[in-house]
Structures are given as structure tokens and as C-alpha cells.
Amino acid sequence: MKNKKISTLISFGLFLALTISPLQNLNYFSSNPAVVHAATTSSLPASTKDGAILHAFDWSFNTIKSELPSIAASGYKSIQVSPVQGTKDSSTDPTKWWLLYQPTNQAVGNAQLGSLSDFTSLCITAKSYGISIIVDVVMNHMANNGNKDQLDPSVDSSFQNSSLYHNLGQCSNWSNRYDVTQKGIGMPDLNTQTTEVQNKAITFLNQCVDAGASGFRFDAAKHIETNIGLDAGQSWSGNYWTNVLGNLHNKSNIFVYGEILQDGTVDNIANYETFMNVTASSYGGSVRSAITSNDLSKAGGMGGLNSTKSVDFVETHDTYEDGSTRGLTDLQRKIGWAIVDSRAGTTPLFFDRPTSSIGLKGESLWKDADVVALNQFHNAMIGQTEYLRWTNNNQTMLIDRGTTGTVLVNSGSNTSVNSPTNLANGTYTNKAAASCTLTVSNGTISGSIPANSVIILYNAGTPTTTLTASANIIGGNYTSAQSVILTPSKTADIYYTTDGSTPNSSSTKYTGAINVSSSLTIKYIAIDSLGVSSPVYTEAYVISASTAYTPNSGYKVDYDSSKLLQGKSFTVYYNGSLANSSSVSMHWGYNGWVGASNATMTKRSDGFWAATITIPTTATKLDFDFTDGSSYDNNSSNDWHLQVWSGSVPVQVSPAPVATKSVTVYYNGTLAASATSMTLHWGYNNFTSPKDATMTKQANGTWAATITMPSGSYMLNMAFNNNASTWDSNNSVNYNYSSAQ
């Protein structure tokens, strides 16, 4: 979201619209954009960060899903979807695009884009093409009712409490870091320093991840404070980014970038770079200035940012919707894309302009033949260094990538080039639309370049794509059967083995999903019609009822709550006050300490002591403490007590509750399947200070909410109610988990 006054935006947009000048009329780009089909899919990078992003602005989930073959064929590694949260109005009027940036909740699904089920289906299908889904999330504020400081009545009840907001009015001094982070930008500003707001964010973001999201764009990220740089030691300092990003599921594989509009004064952008990638907003302005003035030397540098932490672009939905880039022609946008897509280390974003109602796809420039050729160049040049040069009165820019490839961008008339280059000797033919052949000899590139053209050259003999293959489910430990889908990066057959042998073209040919119902190792290879082979890949799947659980660092006691079943093995991990002892035992019994005995614990390399017991078949409650032979840790005389179940565990926690720490509660009880909404009603120490937490539905059908255990808590007490106000209180005894003090 923009952080300037509306009047400023309008005047700025009119100024740029009036000053943008078209490139010269000669146009050697293809006049009719070519549609690229899936059969020509190029190799996509393995990492989301390394590939180009298609911003499918205002496309619905199902619209995106229908275009996945063309998106993959066009060389985009990821797709950025518009905000998925609830909206205060179901309008699909394209002039009301801003509705998606005024959320009414923090959960997946809205009237414009689709449901959680639609989103999950999109993510699953996208992964089969090797494509990542990036979600644009709005975490700084909630929807207003027309008055900037007042909530819209449609805002979810779980966000109606005034304590969740800063309540300091709207920002008027954009050069004051306190105002920028603590006051509103046109909507009620969430109090992001509070644990409750952070926990709501964690639950929502993990709902997205569990449904298949591979990344996030944080809208208005600059307006959420950090605890470093300009914010260090200040009264408004907060740990939002450390806590929220640190608690993401699969966090090491999640690509995160934030909208940090650079102002050179209070943006604190270098410090945001320690948490995430950032928008290269100043560089975007430099690129637009370069292509409208025909002085491409303005497109050097990266606006003061580290290129490897930058998301670069020609325009965004904000610059388009505020009018400041609407005057750019398609030719200018392609010239600009040639620059940003060819640079080293960055993650380029292509904004697709809308043409009709929200939910429908926009224009087709994203799959123009020249744009596709640039994406293929970008993917082929990953890891190559760059060297920038300008010639022809700065109307021609040369972007060398190592000694392997070069892009020449010409915004002027027909010209001759005779310039130094790092490209290897040889004769090169343009891989984009314009007809052009250039020669490299002894470090000099020479020849004639058409007007207003992009010339894409690869090192002679270097393939423009490589063949890879991937599995939709990586090898690992699983407790249920897995359906494994194998996908080549471009048109090719896949062959696989399950007996440990190396696959080749004589091995079993892959024709459909492989059902892995027991432990199995799959080795596979892709081979195309020319005989080009991918590497051999190996995925080892272990299917067992007992998957090793990794205890969470910093927690005194932890366990896998899904294993609290009669007659089953259950492992308890301990790292409390006795952890430095030479020996530790778990003193345990059941149903009020029946059959109490000691189980010797084993010290693990991570500092935890572990003991595995078999829960008796008649147990309804498990009781335990810890001892080193001379002292006891009995949770300040409250012990640990856990409910035990005969079938599946209806309420699970992860990690195990510990005072002052976050815990996520998962509900899959009798109300879960039919509910359209669920509320966690919880308290501690026999329902002290009861509170309600809105739960979000997960891709697997369970409901989840993240809370923080209060200081001094030794017991978590819970009950649940649905949209019909029907309660599940475990037959009036509630759901209870001991909390380590």
C-alpha cells in the first residue's frame, strides 16, 4: 500500500503521466504477442528466490490454475496472488481493487479470489509444474468503515477488541519513524508489538503454508516496526518479525519479501534486509526514468540495496493504480523488463495489468515472446556474475552475465555496436524477436542492432535450458500413504526404479502418481526426445506409525501430542531444571499415579533427556514428574497430567505448553468437519482469565489457533464452539494439558 496522502499521489501520478514520453516509433519487437504453450516449457529454477515472479494481480485462484501450463512455459518460477483474506465488500469492480488491501480477518478465502479449498488446489497443481505460490498478505491493519480510525462492522469479531490496535490516529509526518510505524496509513493500525496480534499472524501464515504456499509478500512492511536499526532501544521497538517469521512452518524453504518504500530517511530498509528480501522501489523509479528519457545509464546500481536481497520491477500494482506508470507503453515496459530480468542476484517481478473485473486474468504481455525469452535467459544465467556497460549515447545497455550470455537493450534508433564484452568469441544470433546477429572477437562485440530492440545472446554451445525433474513430495518420514507425482522441467519422459538400481530408458516408465503405502525408495530420471538426461534423483520414503519427533529448543518439556493413545508408545523430552544432572528418570503413572514407576531417560545431543513408555490400555490420564535420584522436578508441585484417548486425539498441541511461550492448538473433534467457523475458548489453572481465539481451518480439515501461555500457568484448559454456538467441552470436563512453569 502507498504511504502518502491521496492528494500527493494524484499530483505525482499526473506529473509522471504528462512527462512520460514514448520510445521512437520504430519497433522491432513482435507486433502480435506470441502465446507460448506448455510444450515449450523451459527449465525453472529450484529456488523461488532465483526465478521471476508473475504478479497475477486480481486473478482468482481458479483463473490462475487454468493458466499454469502457459505460466510455466513462459519461464516464471512463482506466481504472486493478490491478498487472500476476507473483504468487506464482494464487489469485483476493478476500480475497487483496494478492497483486497482492507482485510476483515486473517484467514484464507474471499468472495473475489476463491475459497481455502480453491487456494489449496491451486498450490498443489502449481507444484506439479514446479511453480511456487507467493501470497500477498496484509498484516499491518484492518478494514475501515469509511472513517480511517474506525473498524468496518464486517471485521471478524476476533479483531474487534480495541487493545489489538495502536489507537494513535493516522500518520501525517512521513519523516518520523514513530509515526510511520505506530500510526495508521488510512486504516486502523494493528498493535503488532502484542503477543496476541503476533499469534494471530502466525496461525494465518501457517494456514497458507500448510495449504501449499511457498512465500509471502508483506504489504506495508515498513509500517511494522523492527527491534534493530532506527527502532533499536526505542519505546515502539517490537519483535514481530523475529517471532512471526521464526514460527513459520517449513520456514527454511519459504521466500519472504516486504514492501519497504524507500524514502532515504526513516525506511530502516537495511535492517529489514536482515529479516527478508525487500522491494527495490528506488531502483524501479530509476528504471522508469531510464526508459522514458532514453538514458539507460540511469538503470545502473540497485537503488542502494543489496541485489541478492532485492525484488526488482518496472511497475507494481501501486504505481499502476495510482496512475504514475499507466502512461508506460508496452514497448517501454518490455525495454524495462529486459533490464530488471537480466540483472544478477535479484528476484524480478512482472506486474500483469488488469483489463476487466477482479477475478479474471489481465492483459497478455506477460507471455509475449520477448518477455518469455528474457525469462529463459534469466533462468539460464543463475549464478553468473554481471558487468554493465553503455554505448550509443547511453541509449544502448549491455548486460554481460559471466562469459556465458549477454543482453543488449536498445532504446534508440538503428545503431552499430562495437563494445567491450566478457562474452566468449563466436557468432551469436538473437534469441528474442528482432532479427540480429552479432560477432564477438577478442573481447569486443560488434554488429548492427535494430531500433527499440532487445538482443539476447547465449554463449555458443551452451544449452539455453537444462533438464531437471522433481517430486511433489520429498523423501522423509510419514505416518500415512503418500501419492508421489514426478514432473520433468520440460517435455520429457521419466523412468524410475524402486529396487535401488540406477534408472535408465529401459526402466519402468512413469505414467501417473505412485502410491507409496509402505517404506520405499524411488530413483528417477528424465530423458527427452533428443536423449538429453536429467540427473538421477533419489527420494526415500519411510512410512511408519511412529515418526521421530524433534523437540522444540527452549521448551522445558515437549512431546508429540498425537501419540497420546492407549496401548501406544509415547516419548517425553525433558530439558528442565535437572537437565545438567548426570542421570534423569521420568517418574510416571496413570489415572492418578496408578502403577507408578521410573523410566530411565537418555541424554540426546540437543540437550534433551528422552524416555519412551507404553501407555496402558486402560489409561485415561498420564501422570509424570522427573528426578535425578535426589531431587524432583514436579512442576512446582503441580506435576504433569495429560489426557489419553482410545482413538485419534481430538485436540493436539504443538509444542507442549510452557509458561510464557507460544503453543498452537489443533482441533479435529466432533464439530470440526461441519463447522464454517470455530472458536477456541481457553484459560489456564482451572480456567483463570478465559479468552476466545478465532481458529482457522487448515488444508487437512483441522482447525488451528496460536496462543501464548501466561506466566505462572501450570495447566491449559480448553473448550470449543462452532458457528452454530454448539459446544465441545469434552463431556463437561474440558480439554486439558499441563503447562511447564
**How many C-beta atoms surround the C-beta of residue 437 within 10 A?**
12
Give the integer Cα–Cα distance in Å for 507 and 485: 17
CATH number at residue 393: 2.60.40.1180
Whether residues 172 and 304 share a domain: the answer is yes
Whether residues 342 and 396 share a domain: the answer is no
Pick 536 or 575 by higher pLDDT. 575
Start-to-end C-alpha separation, the chain: 42
Q: What is the DSSP string of 244-257?
A: HHHT-TTGGG-EEE
Q: In what order do the strands lie in the sheet with 415-420?
A: 415-420, 444-449, 437-441, 426-429
Number of domains in the chain: 4
Q: How far, CA to CA in Å, does 114 sit from each of 63, 119, 216, 479, 596?
A: 10, 7, 18, 31, 54
Q: Is pLDDT of 544 > 80?
A: no
In a domain, 432, yes or no: yes
Q: What integer pLDDT is reported at residue 491 of this predicted model? A: 83
Give the integer Cα–Cα distance in Å for 195 and 197: 6
Which amino acid is present at 575?
A: N
Write down the catalytic residue from 259, 322, 558, 628.
259
Whether residues 534 and 581 share a domain: the answer is no
Query: 494: which residues sit within 8 A by CB, 6+ positions away?
Result: 469, 486, 487, 488, 509, 510, 524, 525, 526, 527
Q: What integer pLDDT is reported at residue 7 of this predicted model? A: 35
Q: What integer pLDDT is reported at residue 617 of this predicted model? A: 87
Q: Band of the pLDDT at 483, cuts 50, 70, 90?
A: confident
Q: How far, CA to CA in Å, does 119 sit from each of 81, 104, 178, 350, 354?
A: 10, 18, 37, 21, 20
Whether residues 155 and 84 share a domain: the answer is yes
For residue range 581-626, list pLDDT tens digits in order.
999 999 999 999 999 999 999 999 889 999 999 999 889 999 999 9
Whether residues 434 and 525 share a domain: the answer is no
In a domain, 7, yes or no: no
Whether residues 61 and 161 share a domain: the answer is yes
Q: What integer pLDDT is reported at residue 466 of this predicted model? A: 61
Of 458, 480, 501, the last residue of a domain is 458
Nearest to 49 by CA among 297, 267, 347: 347
For residue range 252-286, list pLDDT tens digits in order.
889 999 999 999 899 999 999 999 999 999 999 99
In a domain, 30, yes or no: no
Give the integer Cα–Cα distance in Å for 271 and 258: 12
Q: What integer pLDDT is reported at residue 490 of this predicted model? A: 79
Q: What integer pLDDT is reported at residue 40 of this predicted model? A: 34
Catalytic (active site) residue 352: no
Helices (H) and strands (E) in the chain, counts: 11, 42
Domain carrying residue 539 = 469-543
Q: Is pLDDT of 638 > 90?
A: yes
Q: Is pLDDT of 12 > 70?
A: no
Q: Is pLDDT of 2 > 60?
A: no
C-beta separation of 488 from 467 below 8 A = yes
In a domain, 17, yes or no: no
For residue range 113-140, list pLDDT tens digits in order.
999 999 999 999 998 889 999 999 999 9
Find the angle CA(253)-CA(255)-CA(256) to the nearest 5 degrees: 135
C-alpha cell at 357: 473485473
Q: What integer pLDDT is reported at residue 37 of this predicted model? A: 27
Catalytic (active site) residue 259: yes
For residue range 215-244, list pLDDT tens digits in order.
999 999 999 999 999 999 999 999 999 999
Q: What integer pLDDT is reported at residue 459 of this predicted model? A: 65
Of 319, 351, 380, the last residue of a domain is 380
C-alpha cell at 568: 501406544
Q: In what order do the strands lie in the sheet with 476-478?
A: 476-478, 537-543, 520-527, 493-497, 508-509
Bond into 655 cis (ω within 30): yes
Whether residues 495 and 391 share a domain: the answer is no
Q: Is pLDDT of 526 > 70?
A: yes
Average pLDDT of the chain, as a whole number: 89
Whether residues 136 and 108 share a domain: the answer is yes
In a domain, 52, yes or no: yes
In a domain, 12, yes or no: no
Q: What integer pLDDT is reported at residue 621 of this predicted model? A: 95
In a domain, 145, yes or no: yes
Of 359, 380, 401, the last residue of a domain is 380
Give the integer Cα–Cα distance in Å for 347 and 256: 11
For the ranges 14-23, 286-295, 362-371, 426-435, which has the lowest average pLDDT?
Answer: 14-23
Nearest to 398 by CA among 287, 297, 289, 313: 297
b/e string for 549-586 if b means 16 or more Cβ within 10 A?
bebbeebbbbbbbbbbbbebebbbbbbbebbebeebbb
CATH number at residue 346: 3.20.20.80
In a domain, 13, yes or no: no
Q: How far, CA to CA in Å, does 330 sit from each of 22, 53, 363?
A: 10, 18, 11
Whether residues 353 and 213 share a domain: the answer is yes
Whether residues 444 and 501 share a domain: the answer is no
Whether residues 245 and 141 share a domain: the answer is yes
Whether residues 481 and 566 share a domain: the answer is no
Q: Band of the pLDDT at 547, cuts 50, 70, 90?
A: low
Give the integer Cα–Cα distance in Å for 372 and 197: 42
